Structure 1
Amino acid sequence: MEKILLVEDSKNIITVLKLCLKNAGYQVKVVCNGVDAVKAAFDWKPDLILLDIKLPKMNGFLVCETLRGDEIMADTPILMLSAKAEEEDIKKASELGADDYLIKPIEPKGLLKKVKEYL
């Protein structure tokens, strides 16, 4: 079973995305801040990371940069999730090594399509 690390601090979004992913057959681990995201990524070694940008303790950009700087996590797909649709944020995510940038709200079918594409 493929493992997905969901890094999100909104309880409503967590509920919807976790249910969607679990129903599609994925094992899901949820963390709600950037510091825990880095720790969980190294400890749990997910097959894919769904990463919000606006997070407590450490933002998603810094999490992405930290993970991409380590050879263990360098090839793990990272899909950024954000309500921020500014070109500047999308470009920054790409420069830091994110594989894709998904704008919230995202439909579950669209999310699953992207997840399958990167797995």
Structure 2
Amino acid sequence: MQVSEVRALPREELRLIVLLESRAAPRLRTIEGLWRKSTRKRPGSMTAFIRAEGLLDGTEIDEIMADAPLDLVEFQRAAAAVPIEQRSHINTWIERFNAGRTCASRPDKD
């Protein structure tokens, strides 16, 4: 994905990028993020680029990084305890995430 393409993304997709990189961050050893390594044009982390460009507010980025990965893991843990035919689709979590709400406590409702 090119810099211009990231700049053109809607807020919801920028939030998902931040979530994805935040969730992966503890395991990254040889790369910085989705763009892998920094270049003269951009950092290796799309989150760093999103922050530097002001595409999302820094406070929002910090909140996603602090809370969303844990909430997602809790949603997945709780969903695993529900029979598959009764589980909420991951899209329900993503919708709540993009609305700024947590959903770990209700994986089987909707």
Instruction: Determine which structure has more spread, i.e. the larger CA radius of gyration.
Output: 2
Q: Which of the pair is proportionally richer in helix?
A: 2
Q: Which of the pair is proportionally richer in strand?
A: 1
Is the pair's TM-score, using the shorter chain for normalization, greater than 0.5? no
Q: TM-score, normalised by structure 2?
A: 0.26
